[in-house]
Amino acid sequence: MSQLFTRYAIGQLPLDNRIVIAPMCQYSADEGKATSWHQIHLGHLALSGASLLIVEATAVAPEGRISPRDLGLWDDGTEQALAEVVKTIREHSSIALGIQLAHAGRKASTRVPWEGGNNIPPNEGGWQTLAPSAAAFAASDHVPQAMTGEQIERLKADFVASAKRAQRIGFNLIELHAAHGYLLHQFLSPLANQRTDQYGGSLENRMRLALEVFQAVREAVSADIPVGVRISGSDWVDGGWDIKQSIALGKALQALGCDYIHVSSGGLSQQQKIPVGPGYQVPFARQIKEATGLNTIAVGLITEPEQAEAIVATGEADMIALARAVLYDPRWPWHAAAKLGAKVNGPKQYWRCEPHAVKDLFNKV
């Protein structure tokens, strides 16, 4: 039996298999509000056969957007727009829905990728960015403002408010974004965090904000909604955030009731040197899983069914996440099930599409 297609659970959330669709920014929102693009994009991914679909990094405040076109969940308007997307998905798919709540920090206020992705300074239509310290991501970027204690408290409140909105909309899972060089990651890494107060310096201090945000969100939502964290296992820069510190963070999160950890890497420094290759981030997930026992999701150049099967079957991670691979092939889970001799969920309207060589592919319930 394929281990990739065995049932699993994160906290109290049952899942049909071990395949997750990772959050992927679409830069297609209107002042933070989901649009028809999100209906199409998330709608067809909801028919993919994966067990869990996590919505892209969703800003908890307007200034937390990576670009002016980022999705948000900070007021009634953004909540209503995203609720319409969730409602449509629920009408046609039983997939579990998660959302990644985020704040971009010093990497906010940028152009969308297809327009270069460069920083937009306030005098050109951007906004003042925030960070643990007044240190820009790139030398050409507008310098961020080092956050005050009051701003830190407001940030925690923003995460809580967005989490409550996510629960009200009907999301099954909440993921906090502490990876890829965004704000919570900036506080974690000594490369971006030069503070001398209780949020900077020692590892304990640098982890403080991520742990406080997690605890506040965990206490704010129902116990049956799993809350997890996406982290970068390494900055891939000497003297930066690394796997040893990631394990320490994992243990601290576990003590607070974290339901899972989703392990990526990089994104904090332009000096990073990443040895990109198939499954290059999986060892980080394995080490954190071995050291903490947390439910782990591995991601990063996982493209082949046999590769995904091996990761789960050997216990390197509990689940695998697909990003670019599932954009390229939105039916990746169907094709993996066919290759591995398993069954997968699919809409009844598509049951007749099975190729002659593939029989009984769908769970016809």
Just list the catalytic residues: 182
Q: 319-322 and 19-21 as β-strands: parallel, antiparallel, unpaired?
A: parallel
What single string gives the DSSP state of each residue in 199-235?
TSSSHHHHHHHHHHHHHHHHHHS-TTS-EEEEEES--
The torsion angles phi and psi of 264, rounded to 5 degrees, stand at: -115, -155
Phi, psi of 67 (to 5 degrees): -130, 165
Sign of CA dihedral 102, 106, 111, 114: negative
Ramachandran area for residue 66 (φ above 0: left; ψ -120 to 50: alpha; else beta) = alpha
CB contact set of 154 (below 8 Å; sequence gap of 6+): none
Angle between helices 76-92 and 149-169 (to 10 degrees): 30
Beta-strand pair 8-10/13-15: antiparallel
Neighbours of 332 (CB within 10 A): 23
Distance CA 209, CA 220 (A): 16
- Cross-strand bridge partners of residue 362: 344
Q: Where are the alpha helices (DSSP H) in 93-133?
A: none
What is the C-alpha to C-alpha distance for residues 126 and 30, in angstroms, rounded to an integer?
15
Nearest to 55 by CA among 219, 220, 171: 171
Residue 58 phi/psi, 5-degree rounding, is -120, 120
